[in-house]
A and B are shown apart, each in its own frame.
Chain A
Amino acid sequence: MAALGIATGGGNWFLALALGVTLLKCLLIPTYHSTDFEVHRNWLAITHSLPISQWYYEATSEWTLDYPPFFAWFEYTLSHVAKYFDPEMLNVHNLNYSSPWTLLFQRFSVIFTDGLFVYAVHECSKCIDGKKAGKELTEKPKFILSVLLLWNFGLLIVDHIHFQYNGFLFGLMLLSIARLFQKRHMEGAFLFAVLLHFKHIYLYVAPAYGIYLLRSYCFTANKPDGSIRWNSFSFVRLISLGLMVFLVSALSLGPFLALNQLPQVFSRLFPFKRGLCHAYWAPNFWALYNALDKVLSVIGLELKFLDPSKIPKASMTSGLVQQFQHTVLPSVTPLATLICTLIAILPSVFCLWFKPQGPRGFLRCLILCALSSFMFGWHVHEKAILLAVLPMSLLSVGKAGDASIFLILTTAGHYSLFPLLFTAPELPIKILLMLLFTIYSICSLKTLFRKEKPLFNWMETFYLLGLGPLEVFCEFVFPFTSWKLKYPFVPLLLTSVYCAVGILYAWFKLYVSVLTDLPVSKTKKQ
């Protein structure tokens, strides 16, 4: 009641936005949930009923614990609340267990831990000095940024329909970014170190953190032209940073080191045995590569360059299998993807080192790291696009160019999440929420930058509008055609290829803007 009372202050729009989206999340409780629901239930059971030494060995369920130790401890904490809801869900052998109370508990645990995300958004909206705009509340950058983050379509459907705990993890990340913006570097670094031990996917953006902290925190001063002043290096800062990261890692991995289980933990965390692409193709470079391979093999068959008997069957009948066998192009190894990713990340990291532009430059580098690894990484999930989308929201309210990149990236990235929800009752919800977020983001940013040149050129407009017919074809036309049985993978293929083009374009455009941007004069002397 007290919270509601504050929300009614009229000026307190932020609380109203946060409460509104929280209530929407509560409404989504009865929606479909994926196997991730069972994954997390199983982890609750493992951490609750087994000693630590068993956590990373337990394999009754196929969904073994494959997140770093902090997340396991997080599940352990949750399980002590869960036992008051339904102790049956904490039994390791109760595979695929579900009861109304289990559902309620799991869903509410996501909604509740999202509180951290809300706080992080609040901090971010304070420290982002976007473009000064009209007096109207709805045209203020702070307001737009808060909506873009709190009501983010991807986060809503991945966390609250599909079921995952990304909300509070991204909360940690945004909070650490906000701390870096507020010049509280140690805190930022600490939060990120903790985050890494919650979910190791954030390793992708670790280079940006490392280089930024080294360059802009450990070196306390720049030369007037912005280049590095070597003698300003502060050993104290470096050591304190290192010590803190070490302590966090010791806290997380220490017990397993003591138990001599580190190799086992790492083998769980980095399962390179999985395929190049996830079950649904994430819209990245490899999706285009695979699609090209498919097209070439079809052409090859038509023109009799290829022998049909030599082509692996799986590759032609379905794109749904995890292991994708290339027929024409050379197969891709994990090492190749790793090298590609590193090469893609390098320029942005160099840029961060040689042209430091304060926290904004860091943020750009972080997004480029996230996007590059999304583009070229091994076994990338389509959900990983959120790693780029959410930080990009912070940039979008600052500059028209960034806003345009953000919109293409977000719209394509969000659309690529559509195959996650394939059940009929959720179809209207995903379309409505997508429309809601897309229309709002495009129009509000257009209003914010109305005095500058248009956000999109004709090609980009055409691309974004094309998503509409694509959706109509994939979900309303294709299932009623005779191709459905013969080529069931076509909608997925089209979706990921179409989105991959957009995301690749956004990645490229962002890279160009980072590399060609030379506002050295703007760099503040520290």
Chain B
Amino acid sequence: MEKWYLMTAVVLIGLTVRWAVSLNSYSGAGKPPMFGDYEAQRHWQEITFNLPINQWYFNSSDNNLQYWGLDYPPLTAYHSLLCAYVAKFINPDWIALHTSRGYESQAHKLFMRATVLIADLLIYIPAVVLYCCLKEISTKKKIANILCVLLYPGLILIDYGHFQYNSVSLGFALWGVLGVSYDWDLLGSLAFCLAINYKQMELYHSLPFFCFLLGKCFKKGLRGKGFVLLTKLACTVVVSFILCWLPFFTEREQTLQVLRRLFPVDRGLFEDKVANVWCSFSVFLKIKDILPHHIQIMISFCFTFLSLLPACIKLTFHPSPKGFKFTLVSCALSFFLFSFQVHEKSILLVSLPVCLVLSEIPFMSTWILLVSTFSMLPLLLKDELVMPSVVTAMAFFIACATSFSIFEKTSEEELQLKSFSISVRKYFPCFTFLPRIIWYLFLISVITMVLLTLMTVTLDPPQKLPDLFSVLVCFVSCLNFLFFLVYFNIIIMWDSKNERNQKKIN
């Protein structure tokens, strides 16, 4: 590797940007009584350090679940405990039971930011570097790819600005993708189990993993090697789950309580302003108030299931690493758009697999990643992170545009729409304008995003509609996401035909 120094430089740029963003404000800074996610993470350290493990998820006089109660799976709790030990070593006040509530100081902020950077450095960044290095592209492209993935603004802003540990769960998921793509299936499934056990939202990715591994087993023949593989995989998953949950398996009530905390179905169809279908649709019709609760769940389940079914079936019967990555994107998008109780930050689960296909479809990926960052604008605005958001988004855009020259990659072939267009052309011979339409859509989308951002930042919303801008942002992003869902389903469904055609040509 002659150009390792460029790779080091690129990683260092990524780290510098991360730390520079972390100098900004965090969610709920100086906003009592509830503060924000930063306080939540600190509170979890306090809880896990001071209470016995069987009280972590239960409401008690020492653990008020209404005040940022622990609602993530056990691995998050263990991570909090680990951080708490370090915090205890530096300054015990940071995690003192009860008295440390709403603790804020420069030193503590520095400590919390450092924990994020360390977790990122240990899990997510190595996975990105390894993933890009293993790709079969030129060294130059590999370095460009690492740069773009590491500069993705959404993750940086949420982890280092807003404050969360998404890089841990996404990093584990990425290790999982790496594993199963390169036939280290057991390692891959182990990593993915860790991801789910860190953050239950990783379930968005679980179906493609399941279908891909199942498809692999089918391919090897369920009566021979495939069965062995299937058994091994099942054992890996079961064992890793049991190990993660061991302290909570002592009593039935413990397990149930943790599950209840993880899946709070009674919290409603959506919270705040999310760029998914339900929230955007409620502009016209308030489904949340009209329909009874269980019907909402049913509807969202049906929509989610139907929208991801074709891609998953396709993946099961034609498992390929490339199809796997595309299916990850479309499944995560389906979940984000249609499922129950979605947070705006869940869009990061879509962004991760999109980052993975950046070098395959640079134009579309850049577009999606920009929209995904834009969709979190209301949240970022609330956290006073507009300035770093705009700067990192521009940096990301420039990085992608220069290293992949995305604007030259808008032909049918580059968009992976060749086989789709060919099949449409059988019925409409004049169907040649698709790339141009996509190009115009891109322009419209970018201009809308820029204008909306400017309006949100500079104008005050009318008094009657205080949420006007955030609803508009969500609505626009949702339209974009719906379009991306269709696009990804098209390229997934027409993928193998393309391969077969190529084989014929060969």
Partner-B contacts on A (CB < 8 A): 4-5, 7-10, 12-13, 16, 19-20, 23-24, 26-31, 136, 138, 424-425, 428-429, 432-433, 435-436, 439-440, 442-444, 447
Contact = CB atoms under 8 A, between A and B. Distances in A.
Contacts of A432: 12, 15-16, 19
A233 to B, nearest CB: 51
A19 B398 contact: yes
User: Which of A8, A30, A138, A439 has the most chain B CB atoms closer than 10 A to its own CB?
Assistant: A8
Interface string B98-128: 0000000011001000000100000000000
Nearest to B9: A440
A4 B397 contact: yes
Given A16-B399, A27-B20, 9 more contacts: A4-B397, A28-B20, A29-B387, A30-B24, A136-B140, A138-B3, A440-B6, A442-B5, A443-B5
B405 interface: yes
Interface stretch (B47-55, B234-242, B388-396): B388-396
Contacts of A8: 398, 401-402, 405-407
B5 A7 contact: no
Contacts of B20: 24, 27-28, 31, 429
Interface in B359-415: 387-388, 391-392, 394-395, 397-399, 401-402, 405-408
Interface string B1-21: 011011011001101110111
Contact of A27 (B8, B21, B402): B21
A8 B402 CA distance: 5
Given A435-B12, A439-B9, A23 B395 contact: yes
A27 B398 CA distance: 15
A432 B407 CA distance: 32
A7 B391 contact: no
Nearest to A433: B16
A20 B399 contact: yes
B23 interface: yes
Contact of B23 (A30, A433, A440): A30
19 contacts: A4-B401, A5-B407, A8-B398, A8-B406, A10-B405, A16-B398, A19-B398, A23-B391, A27-B391, A28-B20, A31-B23, A425-B106, A428-B19, A429-B16, A432-B19, A435-B12, A439-B5, A439-B9, A443-B5
A7 B16 contact: no
A256 to B, nearest CB: 41
B93 to A, nearest CB: 18
Q: How many interface residues does chain B have, given as a range? A: 35 or more
Interface string B22-45: 011000000000000000000000
Nearest to A424: B110
Nearest to B405: A10
B401 A7 contact: yes
Contacts of B406: 8
A436 B13 contact: yes
B412 to A, nearest CB: 20
Nearest to A16: B402
A138 B21 CA distance: 28
- What DSSP secondary structure best describes chain B's contact surface? helix
Contacts of A30: 23-24
Pairs A-B, 7 closest by C-beta atoms: A443-B5, A8-B401, A27-B20, A10-B405, A16-B402, A436-B12, A23-B395
Contacts of A13: 402
Given A428-B117, A444-B5, A4 B16 contact: no
Given A20-B395, A27-B21, A439-B12, A10 B402 contact: yes
Contacts of A4: 394, 397-398, 401
Contacts of A29: 387
A24 B17 contact: yes
A7 B397 CA distance: 10
Nearest to A11: B405
Contacts of B106: 424-425
B343 to A, nearest CB: 26
A425 B23 contact: yes
A447 B9 CA distance: 15
Nearest to A10: B405
A29 B388 CA distance: 10
Nearest to B20: A27
Contacts of A433: 16
User: Which of A10, A31, A428, A447 has the most chain B CB atoms closer than 10 A to its own CB?
Assistant: A428
B23 A23 contact: no
Contacts of B401: 4, 7-8, 16
Nearest to A9: B405
Nearest to A450: B2
A432 B20 CA distance: 11
A199 to B, nearest CB: 28
Nearest to B5: A443
A5 B443 CA distance: 12
Contacts of A442: 5
Nearest to B143: A138
A440 B5 CA distance: 7
A30 B24 CA distance: 7
User: Which of B20, B388, B401 has the most chain A CB atoms closer than 10 A to its own CB?
Assistant: B20
B383 to A, nearest CB: 13
Given A27-B20, A424-B110, A439-B9, A7 B402 contact: yes
B159 to A, nearest CB: 15
Given A10-B402, A20-B398, A429 B6 contact: no
Contacts of B13: 436
Contacts of B5: 439-440, 442-444, 447
A28 B21 CA distance: 8
Nearest to B397: A4
A23 B395 CA distance: 6
Nearest to B396: A23
B16 A24 contact: yes
Contacts of B19: 428-429, 432
Nearest to A27: B20
Nearest to A136: B140
A4 B140 CA distance: 21
Contacts of A26: 387, 391
A374 to B, nearest CB: 28
Contacts of B140: 136, 138
A23 B394 contact: yes
Interface in B134-152: 140
Contacts of B117: 428
Contacts of A439: 5, 8-9, 12
B405 to A, nearest CB: 4
A323 B106 CA distance: 34
Contacts of A10: 402, 405, 408
A7 B408 contact: no
Nearest to A444: B5
A27 B392 contact: yes
Contact of A436 (B16, B391, B397): B16
A424 B110 CA distance: 8
Contacts of B3: 138
A31 B392 CA distance: 16
User: Which of A16, A23, A31 has the most chain B CB atoms closer than 10 A to its own CB?
Assistant: A23
B451 to A, nearest CB: 12
Nearest to A104: B387
Nearest to A137: B140
B173 to A, nearest CB: 26
A428 B13 CA distance: 12
B218 to A, nearest CB: 43
A138 B407 CA distance: 22
